[in-house]
Each structure stands twice: as structure tokens, then as C-alpha cells.
Amino acid sequence: MAGAGWSQLVQQVLDTNLEYQLWSAGDRIVVAVSGGPDSVALLRVLAEISSTHTPLQLVCAHVHHGLRATESDQEAEFVRNLAFELGVPFEMIRLDVPAYRLETGKGSQEAARELRYAFLHEVAERYGAASIAMGHHGDDQAETVMLHLLRGSGLKGLGGIKYHRLQKNVKLIRPLLRMYKTALVAICKEQHFPYVTDSSNEQRKYRRNAIRLDVLPYLGQYNPQLPQTLNRLAELVQAEDDYMEEAAQDLYVRMVHSEHGRLTLEVPSFLGLHVALQRRLIKLILNYLPSDSENVDFHKIDVIRRGILQAHPTTWSLDLGTGLTCIREYDVVAFFVKKDTHPAGYQYEIPVITGDCTLRMDEIGRTLRISVIQGHEFPSPETASPYEAWFDANYLAFPLSIRTWIPGDRMKVMGLKGSKKVKDIFIDGKIPPSRRPLVPLLCDENGNILWIPGIRRSEHAVVKEASTTVIYMSLEETT
């Protein structure tokens, strides 16, 4: 007959599934079983639920770490027999953790963890499993929160272990997070469920063990309910972190633009956000950029944030490391992988124009469209957009050319006396330095700059009432 503790455990797991939707009827679940009381209780409770409540297809997966010789062999045999008793398929792998440590330079626990998860995902893929069930419990959660607190983690770290999360298209689930180790051990004894004990759990050289054996008991003098307190903190933080993440994702969709490998946002919109959302948005942008490492440390995020907030200077550049760069140019901030983003110098010749034609400039992703208009049937130049221009063909010195900007260029601007440096024209128009090489200059045979599309045109070849042949040009994005 099932004891009260066992019935409580079954109901607790059912309630957790109802709240977090850990599985659905018929799901195939890979259960990670080390042989300890937590994983033994997990496999047995899922088998009970499968037979009496919701049909599930379970697979028992065991990792032989090979670090404790005879003890590891005995654990593997124990788990194999447990799977046989429950009629559950059994999968096992023998890991060479020392060799992987030498290959990667990782610590023993980190190396073992990576190999363990790789095996569990391999089993899940082979069986077509929807999820991998882990035996983490409330004490594991308390240790994790304390470990992250000591490391100085943000909200996500203080949220600890999640009840479920997606990894490699498989859901990792923790049905026992609301149970504690003492209760699980008591239930195993109550039900006469045998289990094994891992002697390495008593070694203080591992930080997590030291937190469990020393730190939490010491702090427990001041709060006997410390594990429960840390677990409540984790649940609260997880919910609020999820909410903030959704809000940041919504802002990302509305405020961040992707163009030519750059992620950009406008400063005025950013300034109106709460500081918490400012940090979240920057973090999200950095996470969307390809990089060899994490780019989410608080210092880096806040350096960027303060740079966006400052009124002066309005142009700056930050090297974020790992090949990433952040620049501010007037009211636009851009994040991108650092590379030579400037197109090589280019120049196209436009011979005498006798009819309609098109010129593609692949270096800058633009197309120049040219038409010839006879007589006076043409729109007034005063109604033109900055990307349109009309020229009196009789006052154009052919061949024309269209080229990239060269430092020192000057232009006789329509409506102004004398000439003006093109660089100053760019500054007046708040054209960011990084965008200037993308702006083409239309010139005549004598080198006079006739038009800077999107910005200004010159006083040369202005269309008048007496003009009989007009050249019309428009610059468009190449499609």
C-alpha cells in the first residue's frame, strides 16, 4: 500500500505538470537516472503517473562517468536493474571525462556536465523524445540561487533552475523542483525503494558541494527556512524575468532595425525607456549578434547605455570585443560585426544620354534611373524628392560620372555663393561617417559635382522655362 509521502509526491508532480505543462499524454520522455534518491523517485513517480493517470513512454538514461571505478560500475548495474523492474528501455554511456578535460581545458564538473547533456540529447533524438526529465529538487534550486548570488548574477541567474526550458528542440523538465531532498529520501525509505549514494557529493573541492555542506547550513542559523526562502525568490524572479524578457522582445521588434548586417535603434526612442528596459534591450541586441562568446556582462551593457544617454559627443565608437562594434552617429546607434564595411572606391561613366537607361551600382546597393524628357512636359524641380533631380541637357558636359566621395571634394550648392566642402554638407545633413561612402556623387566631364542624391544638388545645369531637353534622374535601392 502506498504511504502518505508517496501519494503526496505523486500529487505534487501532477500539480506541477498542470501548472507548467511539462508533458502531454503519450509523450516520450528520457529520464536521467543517476541512482540517487532524487532520480530514483523521479523515474518511479513518472512510471506511476504513466500507469494510473497519463500514459507516457519513458526511457531510462544513465551516465557512467568512470571517475569512481567500482562505485560507478555498481551504480550502472543498479539503474539497469531498476529500468528492467519498471519495464523501461535502458540506455547508458561510459564517459572519458579526463580526456575531454585535456581536450577542452574545462573543469571536471563542467566537462562532465557537457558530456552528460550531449548524451541525453542524443538519446532523446534517437527515440524521438519530446523532453528530458531531470531529478533537480528544491535543495538543488537553493544551491543554484546561492551560487549565482555569490557570482553576482542578474535576475536570470537569481531565477535559478527553470521548471522547463527548450534546448536543441527538446524540452528539459524538472518535475521535482518543489520537493526537498529529505522528503525524497523519506519517501524512498517509506516505499522501500533502494537507491545509491554518490560519495563525491561529500567532496568540498567542488563549489556546489561546499555551498550545500557549509554555506547554507551556516546561513540557516539566521533563517531555518533558508532553502524555502531561496526557492520562493527563484519563483518570483523567474516570473518577473519572463515578463521583462517579453517586454524587451516587444521593444526589439518595434525599435530595432536590421540593415546590411547591422542592428540599429534611434536614440530619442531609447531615451524614453525605463532604465531596466534600456539594459534589457541592449542585452537582447548583443545576444542577436553572432559572436564567439557571451556579451551580456553588466559593465559592457551599462557602458553602452550611458553612451547612448549622453548629449555630447553624439558620435563615438566602442569595441565590444569578440569582433563586435557599437557606434553612435547622431541619433542612431548601430551594433555590428566588425569588418571593412566601406565599399571599395568606384566610378561609373555615363556617356551622352539619348534615351532611358538604368545604372546598377552593386557596391552600394543602389540603382540610378535616367530618362530624357523633350519640351516642357515635365514636373517642376521644386516638387522633387531629394532622390530626384532634373538637369538641362544642353548645359551638361558629357560624359558624366558617378563615383564615391573623396576627402577634399567641394560643390557649388544651389542657392549659396561659392563652394562648400562635401564633408561639411554631410555634417549639415547629419550623414553618419559610416554611411558617407554609400552616398554617390554625380559629376560632369570637368569634375564639377552636380548632385549628391538625397542631400543637395548644385547650381549647374538648372532647368529653366527655356529648357527644351531635360535629363531626369532618380536614385533607388536596388531590388
Q: Are 146 and 229 in contact (CB under 8 A)?
A: no
Q: Are 101 and 107 in contact (CB under 8 A)?
A: yes
Annotated ligand binding at 26? The verdict is: no
Annotated ligand binding at 35? The verdict is: yes
- In the chain, what is the straight-line distance between the N-terminal and C-terminal CA atoms, in Å? 73
Residue 250's contacts (CB-CB under 8 Å, 6 or more residues apart) are none
- Omega within 30 of 0 (cis) for the link into 386: no
Question: CA gyration radius for the chain?
Answer: 34
Q: Which three cell numbers stand for residue 403?
A: 563615383
**CA–CA dist 93, 76 (Å, integer):** 10
Report the binding-site residues.
34-39
The annotated binding site for ATP is made up of 34-39
